[in-house]
Amino acid sequence: MILHLEYLEPDESSLVPAGPLRAGKPVARLRSDAAAALAGMIEAAKRDGVHLVVLSGYRSIVEQAKAFADAEMRHGRGRGIRWVAPPGRSEHATGWAVDLGDLAAPSADDELPFADTPSGLWLSRHAAEFGFEMSFPPRNWQNVGPEPWHFRFVGSPESRAAFHPGAFATVIRALSAAWVFARS
Ligand SMILES: [Zn+2]
């Protein structure tokens, strides 16, 4: 069982607002490189008649701890991890991960049917052109439940190194993650 890897938090000054937001959602922030790429992607989608909204960006370790506790309440103790990463192990803590929604389909927010919305279909075809990739496609090696709405930015050398370290580093990180989970 690998699940979520461990990540370091970004410098607050590197975070900028991202949008457009789903109405009623709190302000989302991303690292500036990811925010710029996202803005370009959202404009390109719009030219294809697809309207993306930003649901969530950077989450601090404190915010993640709250989300994880909520998931444990909802899905049962020890089972929340399949849905929400524990504090310090969410890609959202890096400032390079974003949850996206379809403007016309709020009921698909953070749900598997998002994959079949115009936005979900457009992203699966075009996200890579803007430096984004779906972190948790079905049957991902980390064994996280599929999240067709969750994308990470790998379009800069720094972000790419965070998510795609060399093969050797990946093995070391996976082993240490397994070791942490074996103890917890
Ligand atoms: Zn997410």
Q: Write down the pTM of the prediction.
A: 0.82
> How many whole angstroms from 148 Cα to the centroid of ligand 1?
9
DSSP string, 71-82: HHHHH-TTTGGG
* Rounded to 5°, angle at Cα 68 from 66 and 73: 95
> How many whole angstroms from 176 Cα to the centroid of ligand 1?
23
Write the CB contacts of 64 (distance below 8 Å, at least 6 apart in sequence). 84, 85, 86, 87, 88, 90, 92, 93
> How many whole angstroms from 10 Cα to the centroid of ligand 1?
16
Domains and CATH numbers, the chain: 12-183 (3.30.1380.10)
> How many whole angstroms from 47 Cα to the centroid of ligand 1?
25
pLDDT of residue 176: 63
21 DSSP assignment: B
Strand partners, 150: 99
| CA-atom Rg of the chain in angstroms | 16
> How many whole angstroms from 118 Cα to the centroid of ligand 1?
19
> How many whole angstroms from 54 Cα to the centroid of ligand 1?
11
Tens digit of each residue's pLDDT, the chain (184 residues): 666 767 777 888 899 999 999 988 889 999 999 999 999 999 999 999 999 999 999 988 888 898 889 989 998 988 888 778 888 788 999 999 999 999 999 999 999 999 999 999 999 999 999 999 999 998 888 888 899 999 999 999 999 988 887 755 665 566 666 655 555 4
pLDDT of residue 55: 95
